[in-house]
Amino acid sequence: MYSGYGQSFQEQRLQQLMEQKQLRDFMRMYANLVTQCFDDCVVDFTSNKLNDKELTCTTRCTLKSMKLNERLGQRFAEENAKLMEEQSKAAGL
């Protein structure tokens, strides 16, 4: 009975660690996005507001980056599903 409790605690701890890693990964991705789009798009520091060209550039940069990350996530999921299927087939042999 105690080992079942310990396993449940271990599973909960693993879940917490995975959630923390996902949050760190998301924050790192966000920081990289901000840095990349800022460096690529913001060139006029004489005003405290973005000009139209900078605004358009940052919008496009952000959307492009989000689409890229979405596509990478889809490809990762596809590859992971293939891997799981292959492992399942290999275990069945």
pLDDT tens digits along 22-43? 999 999 999 999 999 999 999 9
H-helix or E-strand containing 53?
helix 52-92
Residues whose CB is less than 8 angstroms from the CB of residue 10 and which lie 6 or more positions away in sequence, other chains included? none
How many Å is the Cα radius of gyration of the chain?
21
Q: Which two tokens stand for residue 1?
A: 């009975």
pLDDT tens digits along 59-77? 999 999 999 999 999 999 9
Pick the closest to residue 39 from 66, 61, 63 (CA basis): 61
